[in-house]
Structures are given as structure tokens and as C-alpha cells.
Structure 1
Amino acid sequence: MALKRPSLGNMSSVDLEDEECTDVQLALADCLWTTARDGAVRLRMEETGIAAEPPITTLQLFQRTVQLCGNKPALATKRGGQWETTTYLQYYQQCRAAAKSFLLLGLEPFHGVGILGFNSAEWFIADIGAIMAGGLAVGIYATSSPEACQYVAANCEANVLVVENHQQLVKILEIEDQLPHLKAIVQYHDELNEERAGLYTWKDFMELGTGVPDSKLDNIIASRKANQCCTLIYTSGTTGRPKGVMLSHDNITWVTKAFGESLNLTDNEVTVSYLPLSHVAAQILDIWIPICFGGTTYFANPDALKGTLVSTLQEVRPTTFFGVPRVWEKIQEKMKDMGSKSSFIKQKISSWAKKIGLGANYNRMNGCGRCLVGCMIRIHQPQEDGAGEICYWGRHVFMGYLNMPEMTMEALDEEGWLHSGDLGKLDQDGFLYVTGRIKELVITAGGENVPPVPIEDALKEELPIISNAMLVGDQRKFLSMLLTLKCTVDVDTGEPQDDLTAEAIQFCQQLGSSATRVSEVIGTKDPAIYEVIQEAMDRVNQKALSNAQKVQKWAILGKDFSIAGGELGPTLKLKRPVVLSMYEKVIDGFYVS
């Protein structure tokens, strides 16, 4: 798909003469999957529609946007209280500079560049620079332990690791002797606390490759194929060793285009980057959709999930915003907290405004929840209620798990359908309802499969004082539930405190309780609180599909779940095996005769 190059003032300052977005050649491949780092796959293309779109690499996508939007702001970072922007042309040039430096440091084809830190322009540049240099971009969760970092870096055979600061650097220095492929470490924020061979500041790193010829980099960029791997996304490892999910260039570029067009995105899109970039959703929405449509990405503060995200959103006013369920719950809690302190008139106006906004957004979302155009969904082995495992087919399906053929074949069946592990059902209009995970199913001693999420969500909807609810009872005679109350959080450490939130305190007061701390509620088994929880549990149980799905016992835990405590993952997803281990005695207590 050759594009005409528009006249963009300083476009001549970047070498694009040999990098036109021409039709890409695909690497030879007969199979729909591979586990080899330098392997290629047969693309799941269709004869018509968006699934028939010609494949392009991520680098061709970037080049196209530079040609069309070179002087537009691509990235925005707040420094000294002011937003500083980077244009698409500057962004592209910096990625090329990083790529040259990676080459000088000895990055080998299809070897990893691990990136460990909070979202920033440097994170993006390292990611794309690694792909330009022929390597594999590999995000590592900033909350990872040294052991977890070692596993990912060794698995992808990382030649270079890019870390945010000294705190992250210490993790790598602790395990670098266990990384035989590692050649260099780059720290992108703050000054180095020590000087040593193979350790670079971001400034020094970006200047390293100035002597690498443009032609060498251009040849590598031109050699990349759309059906080869460019990025590894590692699973969280909550149910076993993390797996390196291999994503091809086409996986990224096709999904970006299809998703963006389904939402009618334009070149005026503004987004805020705050969720871990090790997660594929954050990479697509923060890095690649803006590149595809010429939008602007603003970087939130590192303490975004500790309370500053709301102020950033108010200032930036993004046109699109993505949040995991827990993030939306936190925003809702903050709104309720502020609303409870407002006057009667303000509360009335706020309620009216929220009702209007809700209706408008329902209208905008009309049609969401159906299969993405160009993709297919089917329900594997549906039960009587129509629920079963959700399976996917399309150009969004991954290449395979790096060096894990057995695990890959467990995920992909003989026809190439991806078995997601998610439970769900389709209604008569084609809308998909996701009800849980197969591995999260609680299987009672009587053999009944119980999806925990709907029951947990139903209770939280009944009780605004509940922060987290976790159903337990696997291989037990009946179901029980662990509950936590909404409490304040230490903004520096992320640790949950004993003090209840203002919303929770107001809830207690409405019941006639004077409790202001979690310990007070538990210590006295506050009759008002315990009674209202039991009443809510009874209402949830009345809606149960069978007696086996009713919750018979419950307990309030002494502190809320958190990332710092280990109960929640980087995206605030509940780590069920961790919670089961941490509260084993409490759970066993439910089943003492």
C-alpha cells in the first residue's frame, strides 16, 4: 500500500527515502503457529472485508504516520509543572537513535530488550527502537521481584535491559550473573549511583549509536516481515510459570486498525498512559492506536493508581480512556465520596448530569459487545444455559508461546481456534457475555462448577462498604466468602490502612454504627455491619441457580487486598492462589465441624 509523501517542512531531516510503505513481503510459513523466536506464521486472512487488509509491519505503520502527521504532537510528558510535547517526527528520530544504540551494544536478531519501569516516553522509544533493530520488545512488570525479572529476561534471551531508576536497577544487579545473554543495562531516569562497564544513563545510551550507518538500520527495518514476531507479552504467572506470548507485526497493526475503526477513532484522539505497559491492552491503546491514527499520548505520574490519576484526567481530558474494573470502581468511590460532602443542590445537579452522561454513553456504545469485525467467536462445549469456553479465530490470534510447543498446542486446537480459558455465552443478537475463567471455577465436593465472579460482583453491588470479595470452597462441602472493607491507602507505599474511607464511614453511620476503622468492625463484630452483610448475602443467595451455589459462611479480613500486599497483580487483578495461601487458616475455619 504505497502512500504519497506530503510536504512536511522538516521531513528531509529523517531518512525515509528507502523506507516507503510499500507492500510487505511475508516470510514463508505453512503453519498457523510457531514457538521459535525467528519463526513465521501463516496469516489468517480472508478474501473480503477488513480481514483482507494487506499486512504491514509496525515499522511501516509508524513511517506512514510520520509522513502524514510529522509535526503533530505524539507524546506529552509533564516536567516542572508544564507539559512538554514530542512530535511524530522527533519520536521517530529518537526511536531510530535508540535502535542504532541497541545495535552497537550487540542486540542480536530476535533477542529480547527487556523494559522495566513505569510508563514514559523512554519506555515507548526503547520498545519501538528494539523492534527497529530487529530484536523483540519485552515489557517486565515494574512490581516484579528479582526472581521474576530473571525468569523473563532469561526466557527471551535478553541482550539489553532498560530500567527506570536505581530501585529497578538493584533488582537486575542482583540477578545479572544468571543472565548469560545480557550485554548492557540502561537506566532511563535519574543519575547513576555508580559507574561500571555495561551500565548507561539514557542520555549516554541515546548517543552511543550515532556512528551506526543509516543504511544498516534501514536494511534491518526493511527485512522485518509482518508474519514474524516483534513483541513478547508475558503472562502474569498466577497459575504457573509466565509464558512469552509471541505477537507478530500483523497481530498488532491489524488489531490496531480494526479496533480503532470500530470505535470511529480520529487523529484528534488523546489518551493517558498509566496501566502497566507489560500488558497487551496498554501497549495497543497507549502506543499503537495513537501511532495508527495520529493521536497524542499523555503520561500519567508514577503514583497514578495511588490517587493522582483523577487530577491528570481532569487536566488532559482524554477522548478515550481504558481501565480495568478495579480502576472504574476506584473512580466511582471517589465520586461518591465527593458527592457525600456536597450540598443537597449540588447532589441533585450531579445526579442529573450523571444520568444524562450515562444515557449518552449507552447510545455511543450501541453495538459494542459483539465480535470485532473480521474476527470469529464460538462457544466450545456449551452447557444447558449456553455457557462454555470462548474460542477465537482471526488475525488477532497470537503466534504461539515462546519455546513452549506443548502449552501452545493446549491453547490452539487443530483448526487453529484459540481456546481462551474464559467462560461465556452468546445471546440471540450476537452479544458476548463473559462470566469468568475456567481456572477460576470453584468445583464443590459434590462436583458442581461454580463461576465465582458473578457471585462476588452481586455482593459488592449490594454493599457499598465492601472493597473485595472472593469466593472459596473448591473441593469443599459448601461455598464461603472472604470479604474486605473499603479503607484508606498510604499514598507512598500503596498499603491499605485501618481507617475506613469516607464513603464506608457514612454507610456505617446510616446503619447506626460509630465504627471508623476496620479493626473496630471486626473487633466488636459490629452488629449493625454484620447484620447488613448477612442480609445482602441472603439476597444474593436467593438468586443462586442451585443450593450448591449459595454462600453459607463468610468472614471480614483485617486488611484490604493490594498490589503491595501481593493479593492483587499489576493490573489490580485478584491473585486467587495467593489469597488462598495467605488466608488458609481462615478458610479452614469455615469447614471445622
Structure 2
Amino acid sequence: MATRSGCPCCSVAEEPKPVPLQSSNAPAALTPADQLWSTSKDTAVRLRMEGSGPAAYTPITAHQMFVETVESFGDHPALAYKEEGQWVTMTFKQYYQQCRAAAKSFLRLGLERYHGVGILGFNSPEWFISDIGCIFAGGLATGIYTTNSPEACHYVAANCQANILVVENQTQLSKILQVKDQLPHLKAIVQYKGQLQHRASYLYSWADFLKMGEDMTDQELNTVISSLRANECCSLIYTSGTTGNPKGVMLSHDNVTWTVRTALSVVNLERGQEVVVSYLPLSHAAAQMFDMWMCIAYAVTTYFAQPDALKGSLGTTLKEARPTCFLGVPRVWEKMEEKMKEVGAKAPPMRKKVAAWAKAIGLQYNYSAMNGEHAVPWGYSMANSLVFKKVRAALGLDRCKVCFTGAAPITKDTLDYFMSLNMPILEIYGMSESSGPHTVSCNEEYRITSCGKVMPGCKTKLDKPDADGSGEICFWGRHVFMGYLNMPEKTAEAIDQDGWLHSGDLGKHDQRNFLYITGRIKELIITAGGENIPPVPIEDALKSEVSIISNAMLIGDQRKFLSMLLTLKCVVDDNAEPTDKLSPEAVDFCRRLGVAATKVSEVNANKEPAVYNAIQEGLERVNARATSNAQKVQKFVVLDRDFSIAGGELGPTMKLRRPIVAKMYQDKIEEMYAGARL
């Protein structure tokens, strides 16, 4: 793989000048504070520190953490990105210099303390540099989802009082220009990709932007950096706004630095030895922690995927970067599984037999390892050589030590599938309000379908547990956010008077303190008969029974019985939009039933009896396992197209947006209940 050293942003010399570091060993300064939470962007909070253990670690700022890494790994590759088809690398010294240059330019453009810098674009070095540079300059780094409408962009920019917006290209710029006049705090817009299509005094190219701060001295910037405090806000993560306006999750320097270092202490990674691929939306806490902050904390090299990563190019990037750890949301793992099954279905009979034999051994071995027995079955080495290593190489995960999943529920079937290929997927659980992770699984200690154990220095409380021990999961620790920006009522709902963060998720522990998610309070369906039903287990069960189903959403809140909205697996186009064409796996499903359909519309046109009967039979098998009649699904409807991010049914991390889906398909839902007497 061809690589060269350089910088994507301006003319950085191959031999950089000495980096003006400040001492990373200086004692951490904290702003005096009595409260554990705040809703004002300029108000500090009291850290949840303890007298010993991880919760007693000395607080540091994001800048101090960066300097520690530059001092030890200054010449190590930090960022890798493609330029004219070749990989280009940037060292940690160059990365740090660029962040300082951006900080100076932000200040010259008029960035005020505790005001936002909104970043709207796909993952890139410029995204990272804008985020970190903003924080160095005393601003609030604020990611904006690329899928946001102009109105949604306006809400975030106005809420954080953004002085500057950094956009990727003309497409994103056009959104901002539509609402620019409604943003009184906005002083400048910077476009970091492509040529500016028109000129204005407030518009800057990336190169022109970085030149803005060249006349600022290092001492001037160091004065600003020295004023940063570990218990003050540095970053805003906006929720997706499924049930109302997005909430600005305020994260402090300590939230970021303490959380990433503590989470990494659980996982067996080595400083200066790891590689990750950045492709998930950086407006999301998980992606920022995994791609950006882990890179800085542990001198990890971050490779940037292409903008069409989730449309198909991710596989190519993985094979070129060969990451040592990888985070995939459940839908990414499911897509990999579907693709491998599609390839496997076309294999010769003998190869299919070998694969089935190897997967049985892989599942046996990995369950044994998970349980601490490490019994190696006969034939494991051969299975590893013939199948497991080849699968890993084909996926670009041959060097991957740890495979993670998070952000949404994942099915046991998918976990088992990868276990059978000698690739255990480890679950992480948390939320934006916990700076990302709260519980972490590791290769040495995990349980399938569990999201791991609580991070060192943190605590979990199960509030109001039921007879089975399942209660609302509450968090305590230095990872708990400061509060929601300008939303005291919402903050009071999330953080109780004793300082516990209420997640809204239901969970329980096993005898070894592994946490299992059993549902979500807001997702709980409460039937007309008053029975509480978690939808995810029922939805996952049906998808496992009927392989043609892509998405399932349980309906029944305040209803007399349960019903379901279903979609079929289909091919997506270059824009990741679902098409009418059935996926190869769905076509195979139809063929096995003697159905010639190749399109969703053909299945739905006359409610293809064989397919609908197969769904009904799968539903009956699921119902047979229901714990009560109230948990049995009585009706279903197959929708004309699959759910997608662009369609609005899925969030940026492909999590189901239930209230929005229910509203979108209200007519279909009402039809299922019209005149019902069940």
C-alpha cells in the first residue's frame, strides 16, 4: 500500500518545526463548583472524584492529554487519509500543530469563550482538527449530523450560539446559507472540501481559514489554553431528537479524558500499536470516543473511510487499513453476515460442508473460551487455517484483536454467527450522557448477549427492580455528563437529586455482575390490559425465524392486542436508499418456497401466499414461546419499502426511530386495528 507523509490542510513541511508544547505534568486546575450538574455552558461542575482507585485519577484537559501523547509518540502516524488514491499520513506532531493553527484561526475569526463551532461533514482530518482546535481555543466543539435538514442545522447552531460553522462541501454549505440570516451569533463559515462556488466576506476555504491565525503568537494561544479547566464544558453532543428538539449533551474535559483512558484500561490494547477505521457519524459520542479521543489517548492511528462507506466501500478501506480494533453498529455486522451468507450460498457443496464443519468447531471453542474453560476441540487448527483466517482476511479484520458493537441492540443469532467464525463480538453499553461507554466487554471477560461489566471507578444502580431483578439502569461516575444545555427540566429528569444518571433502559445483572439490557422504559409497550411488553426480544425472535424480514417493529401501546410492521430485505442503491429489488438472500428465500418474485412489490401485489404463510408460521412459532397471551402478535403488515436513514425510520447509527415510524405508518397501523374485536 503506497503511503506518504504530509498534511491535507496547508503547507506543512516534511520536517516540522519544534512543537510549542506546554507541560503535560502541570497540576490540573479546576474551577470551584458545588453542583454535580449544570445547564449553563459557562458554569463548571463538581467532579465525582473519590479518595482512591480510578475515580481518584488527576483530572486533565483535552490539551494536556494530547501533549502527553505528542511527547511520547510525536513522530508516530496519527491520521491516515486518501489523497488522489494514495494513503497519506499525518504524525501526532503535525496533527497537534494543525489543531493549534485551527485554534488561532478560530480566535482570529472571533470565536468567543463557551460559544460553539459547528462541524457538518463526513469524517476527515479537517473534522478532527476543527473539533480539537475549537476546544484549544475555549469554544464548544459541536458535531452536526450530515443528514440534518437546514432547519435541524439551524436549531443546533442557534442552540450552541455558534460563532463559526465548518462544512464539508457545497451540499452542506447550501443548507447553512438557507438559515444563515437566522443565526445572529454566526461570524464565519469554513468549507473544507472542494472549491467555493461563490465569494462572500464570511466564507473561507480551508487553506484561507488556516492562514487567518498566522499572525497570532504561540504565547497568545498558550494563554487561552492555560485558562482551560477540566471541569468545564468543551464539547456538545446533540441527541437525534426522536421525540422532540435535540438536547445538547454537555461534556467536560474530564468527561472526555477520564472516560477514554478508563475505558481503554479495560481492553488489552497497546499505546502506539493500534489502528482503527473512522466511518460512523462523528456527531455521535461513540464515534468520537472510539475514533478521535482514543487516537489521542493511546496514540492510535485513525484511517478515514470514504464518504460512501456504509454504501459499500467500507470493506475496501478495512482491507487496506487492516484495523486492530473495530467498532460496528449492529446493522454493519448484520450486513457483513448477510454478504457472507450470500457468498456461502453460491459455494460448491464440498466447500459448504467444510464451512459448516468449521463453524460448529468455532462456536464450540468460543463458548468454551467465554466460559473460561479454553477446551480446544479436535480439528480447531485445521478449521482456523481453512476457514477462520480466510474469512478475517476477506473482511480486512485479520489483525483485529477486538471486535466491538454498540449503539443499538444486536441479535443473538448475529453474535453466534461471528462466534462460529472465531470472531467474538464484544458489546459496549452507554449513552451520550455517559460520554459513551458505561459497561465494557473484553476478550478476557465477556458473556454473549451481555454488554459487559461496569467500567472501573463507575457504579451501576438498578432502580425499582421487579421480581426478576430487572430495573432502570442508573449510572454514577466521572463519565456522567454535566447536563443538557439550557434545559433544566430535562436535566432534572435525567439526573436525580443524588446525582445518579437515569438511562431509561431496563437491565439486570447475573451472578458475576455482567449487565444485560432487558428493554427500554420509553419503548415498553403497555397494552390496554396494562401488561408491560419489551418489543425488541419479540422483534428479534421473528427476524430469526423468517430470514426474508429486514426490519420489524412491534405495535400495541394502549391497544387490545399486538401487531407488527415488517419490511423485506432488499438491495440498496448508491445513495443507501432501499430499492424495490429483493436482496439475494430474500430471493433465495422465495425460491425455496417456489416463488418467482424478485421485487418487494411483486410479493406485496397479491400478498404472495407462500411468503405470507411463511411469515405467519414464523410468527406462530414466536407466539408459542410467549409468556402470556398478551405477548402474542395477532396481525402484521408488510410495508412497500425497507427502513433507512434517508427515509427517516432509522437514526444516524441505524437505530429504529419508533415514534417517527409510528407516525409515518399511522394509516397502516389503524387498518390493522379497524373493527378488531380480539
TM-score band by shorter chain is over 0.9
Aligned counterpart, 2:533: 450
Matched, 1:389 2:394: no
Distance in structure 2 (CA, Å) of the matches to 1:276 and 1:575? 17
Distance in structure 2 (CA, Å) of the matches to 1:316 and 1:174? 38
**Helix, strand or coil at the partner of 1:13:** coil
Q: Quick one: which amino acid aligns to residue 30 of structure 1?
A: D
Q: Quick one: which amino acid aligns to residue 443 of structure 2?
A: R
Matched, 1:548 2:630: yes
Aligned counterpart, 2:365: none
- Residue among 77, 83, 87 paired with 1:83: 87
Supply the RMSD in Å over aligned alpha carbons. 1.5
Matched, 1:426 2:509: yes
Shift of 1:31: 0.9
Matched, 1:138 2:217: no
Aligned counterpart, 1:4: none
Q: Quick one: which amino acid aligns to residue 309 of structure 1?
A: L
Distance 1:350 1:78, change over 3 A: farther
Distance in structure 2 (CA, Å) of the matches to 1:125 and 1:57? 16
Tell which deviates more after alignment, 385-394 or 271-280: 385-394
- Residue among 596, 599, 610 paired with 1:528: 610
Aligned residues: 583
Q: What's the CA shift string for 1:182-217, capped at 9, x where partnerless?
A: 000000000001001110000110111000111111
Gaps of 5+ in 2: 1-13, 363-387, 389-418, 425-441
Aligned counterpart, 1:485: 568
Aligned counterpart, 1:52: 56
Shift of 1:21: 3.2
State whether residues 76 and 296 of structure 1, in contact with CA within 8 Å, keep that contact through their aligned partners in structure 2. yes
Matched, 1:92 2:96: yes
Matched, 1:333 2:347: no
Shift of 1:352: 5.0
Distance in structure 2 (CA, Å) of the matches to 1:347 and 1:134? 58
Q: Quick one: which amino acid aligns to residue 377 of structure 1?
A: T
Q: What's the CA shift string for 1:36-71, capped at 9, x where partnerless?
A: 111111111122221211111111000110110000
Distance in structure 1 (CA, Å) of the matches to 2:264 and 2:351? 37
Matched, 1:318 2:323: yes
Q: What's the CA shift string for 1:318-350, capped at 9, x where partnerless?
A: 111111111111111111111112223333444
Q: What's the CA shift string for 1:4-55, capped at 9, x where partnerless?
A: xxxxx96861111x44332211110111111111111111112222121111
Q: What's the CA shift string for 1:335-385, capped at 9, x where partnerless?
A: 111111222333344445555352654492524611111111111111122
Matched, 1:237 2:241: yes
- Residue among 559, 571, 576 paired with 2:658: 576
Shift of 1:524: 2.4
- Residue among 117, 121, 128 paired with 1:117: 121
Distance in structure 2 (CA, Å) of the matches to 1:265 and 1:288? 14
Distance in structure 1 (CA, Å) of the matches to 2:93 and 2:349? 51
Matched, 1:513 2:595: yes
Aligned counterpart, 1:274: 279
- Residue among 168, 186, 190 paired with 1:164: 168
State whether residues 310 and 331 of structure 1, in contact with CA within 8 Å, keep that contact through their aligned partners in structure 2. no
Aligned counterpart, 2:195: 191
Distance in structure 2 (CA, Å) of the matches to 1:175 and 1:41? 33
Distance in structure 2 (CA, Å) of the matches to 1:352 and 1:133? 58
State whether residues 57 and 253 of structure 1, in contact with CA within 8 Å, keep that contact through their aligned partners in structure 2. yes
Q: What's the CA shift string for 1:454-499, capped at 9, x where partnerless?
A: 11111111122111000011111100000000000111x2211111
State whether residues 114 and 139 of structure 1, in contact with CA within 8 Å, keep that contact through their aligned partners in structure 2. yes
- Residue among 295, 303, 308 paired with 1:290: 295
Q: Quick one: which amino acid aligns to residue 51 of structure 2?
A: E
Tell which deviates more after alignment, 96-105 or 336-345: 336-345
- Residue among 295, 299, 303 paired with 2:308: 303
Distance in structure 2 (CA, Å) of the matches to 1:66 and 1:33? 32
Q: Any residues of structure 2 matched to 1:238-257 within 5 Å, and which?
A: 238-257=242-261
Aligned counterpart, 2:646: 564
- Residue among 361, 364, 377 paired with 2:443: 364
Matched, 1:106 2:185: no
Q: Quick one: which amino acid aligns to residue 295 of structure 2?
A: P
**Helix, strand or coil at the partner of 1:209:** coil
Distance in structure 2 (CA, Å) of the matches to 1:287 and 1:258? 15
Distance in structure 1 (CA, Å) of the matches to 2:319 and 2:358? 16
Q: Quick one: which amino acid aligns to residue 414 of structure 1?
A: Q
Distance in structure 2 (CA, Å) of the matches to 1:27 and 1:230? 14
Distance in structure 2 (CA, Å) of the matches to 1:376 and 1:521? 50
Q: Quick one: which amino acid aligns to residue 422 of structure 1?
A: D
Distance in structure 1 (CA, Å) of the matches to 2:646 and 2:165? 24
Q: Quick one: which amino acid aligns to residue 69 of structure 2?
A: T
Q: What's the CA shift string for 1:89-140, capped at 9, x where partnerless?
A: 0000000000000000000001000000100000000000000000000000
Distance in structure 2 (CA, Å) of the matches to 1:341 and 1:383? 48
**Helix, strand or coil at the partner of 1:211:** coil
Shift of 1:420: 0.5
Q: Quick one: which amino acid aligns to residue 83 of structure 2?
A: R
**Helix, strand or coil at the partner of 1:419:** strand
Q: Quick one: which amino acid aligns to residue 257 of structure 1?
A: R
Distance in structure 2 (CA, Å) of the matches to 1:352 and 1:262? 34
> What is the aligned-residue identity percentage?
61
TM-score of the pair, normalised by structure 1: 0.96
Matched, 1:379 2:462: yes
Tell which deviates more after alignment, 392-401 or 520-529: 520-529
Tell which deviates more after alignment, 265-274 or 164-173: 265-274
**Helix, strand or coil at the partner of 1:96:** helix
Distance in structure 2 (CA, Å) of the matches to 1:389 and 1:161? 38
State whether residues 495 and 502 of structure 2, in contact with CA within 8 Å, keep that contact through their aligned partners in structure 1. yes
Gaps of 5+ in 1: 1-8
Distance in structure 2 (CA, Å) of the matches to 1:178 and 1:132? 27
Q: Quick one: which amino acid aligns to residue 443 of structure 1?
A: I
Q: Quick one: which amino acid aligns to residue 571 of structure 1?
A: T
Distance in structure 1 (CA, Å) of the matches to 2:508 and 2:97? 47
State whether residues 19 and 218 of structure 1, in contact with CA within 8 Å, keep that contact through their aligned partners in structure 2. no
- Residue among 263, 266, 282 paired with 1:262: 266
State whether residues 24 and 65 of structure 2, in contact with CA within 8 Å, keep that contact through their aligned partners in structure 1. no
**Helix, strand or coil at the partner of 2:508:** strand
Aligned counterpart, 2:35: 31
Q: Quick one: which amino acid aligns to residue 297 of structure 1?
A: T
Distance 1:349 1:99, change over 3 A: farther
**Helix, strand or coil at the partner of 1:333:** helix
Aligned counterpart, 1:15: 20
Distance in structure 1 (CA, Å) of the matches to 2:287 and 2:582? 31
Distance in structure 2 (CA, Å) of the matches to 1:564 and 1:22? 47
**Helix, strand or coil at the partner of 2:212:** helix
State whether residues 16 and 94 of structure 2, in contact with CA within 8 Å, keep that contact through their aligned partners in structure 1. no
State whether residues 236 and 248 of structure 2, in contact with CA within 8 Å, keep that contact through their aligned partners in structure 1. yes
Matched, 1:175 2:179: yes
TM-score of the pair, normalised by structure 2: 0.84
State whether residues 21 and 63 of structure 1, in contact with CA within 8 Å, keep that contact through their aligned partners in structure 2. no
Shift of 1:450: 1.2
State whether residues 279 and 305 of structure 2, in contact with CA within 8 Å, keep that contact through their aligned partners in structure 1. yes
